[in-house]
């Protein structure tokens, strides 16, 4: 079994800018480039202290003094440090300095986006489990007072039947948002408009992910650019998701729940706990200890 996720092939240009086997920070050696972002790169790395592979999030070598990137890395590290959950990526440390480096556990599996690229859709049973794991992780995050705000297939890794949520770089407290902050194609309407962000915004994210896994297409069609942005998206990104029409055997109450998560009005969406209840019932898992049942 491999101990690290498959690294996307690095282009010749990025191989020159991101040489492997260089020391990113004392005791942290780059083994490969996993993801090249606008400000921040994600590396497959080796931690000498731990004697194991890890994932390192660091400023791009050509953006070492990028203040927004520095603040984002520090903020993500500060939040991850306070979290401890089986369905959220584990933080090891933030190496301080003018160019901080976040060291995370390597989740050896495939992102949901890679699975969808390979198989187009996921088996319905797997989607139900994935949904429960997302509800577990996001419910925990909400109880800690945070919203994720960037739930999308590339920010979830599935490994050995277990889903783990990544990328808390956009996480913030509930409240007024900046219009368009998030990922094109994965913005809840209130995110696109810069309105009040709440737990319901992540409910949209959970539902959108489940929709895409079942149907094989995003709930809100987009042009394929799914990188994270920090604002200035236009309101035309608001679109009413198509109804979940599929010939697949999706339990009716699950299909209804997913459609309800994608309602334009956040107040009309179910809660995370209600979504978890529907998913657990469909899986025949009862009782679900963390879900308060009514009636």
Residues at the interface with Mg ion (CB under 5 A)? 155, 167
Residue with tokens 């990137």: 69
Nearest approach, Cβ of 90 to ligand ATP (angstroms)? 8
CB of 224 to ligand ATP, least distance (A): 13
CB atoms within 10 A of CB 175: 9
Whole-number minimum distance, CB 42 to ligand ATP, in Å?
Answer: 4
> Could you tell which of ligand ATP, Mg ion, none binds residue 5, using a CB distance below 5 to 8 A set by kind?
ligand ATP
Instruction: State the DSSP string of 145-185.
Output: T-B-----GGGEEEETTEEEE---TT-B-SEEPPTTEEETT
Distance CA 45, CA 269 (A): 40
Residues at the interface with ligand ATP (CB under 6 A) = 5, 34-35, 37, 40, 42, 55, 89, 104-107, 111, 154-155, 157, 166-167, 169, 227-228
Cβ contact 114:122 at 8 Å: no
Which secondary-structure segment (H or E) carries 28? strand 28-36
Minimum CB–partner distance for residue 50 and Mg ion (Å) = 23
Which CB atom, from 38 or from 121, has the smaller least distance to ligand ATP?
Answer: 38
Task: Note whether 233 and 187 are within 8 A (CB).
Answer: yes
**Closer by beta carbon to ligand ATP, 63 or else 142:** 63
Report the residue number, 4 or 278, with the smaller CB distance to ligand ATP: 4
- Cβ proximity to Mg ion: between 152 and 263 the closer is 152
Q: How far is the CB of 253 from ligand ATP (least distance, A)?
A: 31
Q: Can you tell me the distance from the alpha carbon of 41 to that of 278, in angstroms, rounded to the nearest whole number?
A: 38
Q: What would you report as the CA-atom Rg of the chain, rounded to the nearest whole angstrom?
A: 19
The nearer residue to Mg ion, 111 or 261, going by C-beta atoms, is 111
């Amino acid at each position: 079994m491999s101990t690290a996720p498959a690294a996307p092939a690095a282009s010749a240009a990025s191989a020159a800018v991101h040489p492997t086997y260089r020391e990113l920070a004392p005791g942290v050696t780059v083994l490969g480039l996993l993801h090249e972002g606008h400000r921040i790169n994600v590396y497959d790395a080796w931690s000498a202290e731990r004697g194991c592979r890890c994932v390192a999030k660091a400023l791009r070598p050509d953006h070492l003094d990028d203040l927004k990137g520095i603040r984002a890395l520090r903020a993500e590290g500060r939040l991850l440090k306070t979290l401890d959950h089986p369905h959220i990526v584990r933080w090891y440390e933030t190496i301080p300095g003018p160019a901080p480096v976040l060291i995370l556990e390597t989740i050896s599996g495939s992102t949901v986006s890679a699975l969808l690229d390979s198989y187009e859709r996921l088996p319905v049973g797997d989607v139900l489990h994935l949904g429960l794991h997302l509800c577990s992780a996001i419910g925990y995050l909400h109880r800690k007072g945070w919203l994720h705000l960037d739930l999308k297939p590339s920010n979830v890794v599935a490994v050995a039947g277990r889903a783990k949520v990544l990328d808390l770089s956009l996480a913030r407290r509930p409240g007024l948002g900046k219009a368009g902050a998030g990922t094109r194609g994965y913005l809840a309407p209130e995110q696109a408009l810069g309105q009040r962000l709440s737990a319901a915004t992540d409910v949209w994210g959970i539902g959108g992910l489940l929709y895409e896994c079942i149907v094989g297409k995003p709930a809100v069609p987009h042009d394929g650019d799914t990188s994270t942005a920090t604002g200035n998206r236009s309101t035309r990104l608001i679109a009413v998701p198509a109804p979940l029409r599929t010939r697949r055997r999706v339990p009716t109450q699950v299909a209804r729940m997913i459609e309800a998560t994608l309602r334009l009005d956040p107040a009309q969406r179910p809660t995370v706990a209600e979504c978890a209840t529907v998913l657990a019932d469909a899986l025949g898992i009862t009782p679900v200890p963390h879900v308060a049942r009514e009636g």
